[in-house]
C-alpha cells in the first residue's frame, strides 16, 4: 500500500513538472511587445487673405403718426417703396429683419404719437453696394447698417488655410525634433479649429459712386493640432 502511495505521489510530481515547463512565459511575451513610439504634438495656423466680393446691408424706414394704425400704414407704404427700389437696383436675397411699433412719449410721460419701423436686408456684389444704398435712401430709407463683407468662395479659402496650417505644424515639429536630435515621422492624429477675422486694408480708397465703399481685405484662418511620430 505504501508503494502505491509513493508511486502516485511521484506521478503527480512528474505531471506538475511537465505543466510548469509547458506554461507560456507571459512576462517574456510582454517584454517582447514593441514599445509605443514617442510622439510630438504641435499646433499650426494658416491664413489666406482675399478681398470680399459680396456685401449684405440692412435698410430701414421709420415713420411717426398720431395713432399706431396710421404709423403702421405709413410705414408699410414706405417699406414697399424701399423694397422695390432694392430689387430694381439688383439687390438679392431680400429678407425682413424686424417690424416694430411703439408709443412716443413727451417730457411729462404722456403719449404724443406712435413710431413704426421696418428693416430689410439685401445682398449684392461689393461693387454694386453703393448703388444699392443710394437707391434705398432715395426711395425713403432713413436707417441703414452694414455692409457686412464676405467672400462667395469662403469654403475654398478655408481649405487653403487648412493646408497652410498643416504645413506650419510640420515645420514647427521638424524644428523641435531636430533640436532634440530626432526626426519627424508620420502623422498619428490631427484636429482642427477655425476663425475668420477681418483685417483693415485699403485696397481701394473709394468707388466711383455717391456712396463710397471700401471692401478692404478679410483673413480666413485655420488652426490645427497635429501629432507626429518621433524617429
Query: How many C-alpha atoms does 75 have within 13 Å on its Cβ side?
Result: 27
54-150 shares the fold of 39-51+153-230: no
Alpha-carbon gap, residue 158 to 218, rounded angstroms: 12
Instruction: Judge whether 67 and 197 are in contact, CB under 8 Å.
Output: no
pTM above 0.85, yes or no: no
Q: Residue 140, SS3?
A: coil
Strand pairing category for 143-150 and 54-65: antiparallel
pLDDT at position 106, please? 86
User: Which phi-psi region, left, alpha or beta, contains residue 81 (left: φ > 0; alpha: ψ -120 to 50)?
Assistant: alpha
pLDDT at position 203, please? 38
Alpha-carbon gap, residue 13 to 15, rounded angstroms: 5
Alpha-carbon gap, residue 84 to 122, rounded angstroms: 12
Domain positions in the chain are 39-51+153-230, 54-150
99: cell is 417690424
In tens digits, the chain (231 residues) has pLDDT values of 444 333 434 444 443 434 444 445 545 545 545 678 889 999 999 999 888 888 999 999 999 999 999 999 999 999 999 999 999 999 999 999 889 999 999 888 899 999 999 999 999 988 889 999 999 999 999 999 888 888 888 889 999 999 999 999 999 999 999 999 999 999 999 998 855 454 443 333 333 445 566 666 778 889 999 999 999
115: cell is 413710431
- Could you tell me which CATH class the domain 39-51+153-230 is placed in? alpha beta
pLDDT at position 91, please? 92
- Could you tell me which CATH class the domain 54-150 is placed in? alpha beta
pLDDT at position 61, please? 94
Instruction: Judge whether 185 and 230 are in contact, CB under 8 Å.
Output: yes
pLDDT at position 216, please? 67
Amino acid at each position: 500500500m505504501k508503494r502505491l502511495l509513493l508511486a502516485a505521489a511521484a506521478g503527480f510530481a512528474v505531471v506538475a513538472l511537465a505543466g510548469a515547463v509547458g506554461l507560456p512565459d507571459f512576462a517574456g511575451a510582454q517584454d517582447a511587445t514593441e514599445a509605443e513610439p514617442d510622439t510630438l504634438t504641435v499646433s499650426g495656423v494658416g491664413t489666406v487673405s482675399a478681398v470680399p466680393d459680396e456685401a449684405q446691408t440692412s435698410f430701414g424706414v421709420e415713420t411717426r403718426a398720431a395713432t399706431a394704425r396710421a404709423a403702421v400704414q405709413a410705414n408699410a407704404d414706405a417699406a414697399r417703396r424701399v423694397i422695390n427700389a432694392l430689387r430694381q437696383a439688383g439687390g438679392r436675397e431680400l429678407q425682413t429683419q424686424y417690424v416694430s411699433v411703439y408709443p412716443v412719449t413727451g417730457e411729462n410721460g404722456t403719449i404724443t404719437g406712435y413710431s413704426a419701423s421696418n428693416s430689410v436686408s439685401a445682398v449684392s456684389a461689393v461693387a454694386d453696394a453703393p448703388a444699392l444704398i443710394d437707391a434705398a435712401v432715395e426711395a425713403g430709407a432713413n436707417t441703414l447698417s452694414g455692409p457686412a463683407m464676405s467672400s462667395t468662395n469662403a469654403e475654398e479659402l478655408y481649405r487653403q488655410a487648412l493646408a497652410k496650417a498643416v504645413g506650419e505644424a510640420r515645420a514647427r515639429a521638424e524644428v523641435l525634433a531636430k533640436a532634440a536630435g530626432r526626426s519627424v515621422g508620420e502623422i498619428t492624429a490631427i484636429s482642427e479649429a477655425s476663425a475668420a477675422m477681418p483685417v483693415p486694408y485699403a485696397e481701394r480708397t473709394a468707388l466711383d459712386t455717391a456712396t463710397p465703399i471700401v471692401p478692404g481685405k478679410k483673413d480666413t484662418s485655420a488652426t490645427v493640432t497635429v501629432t507626429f511620430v518621433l524617429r
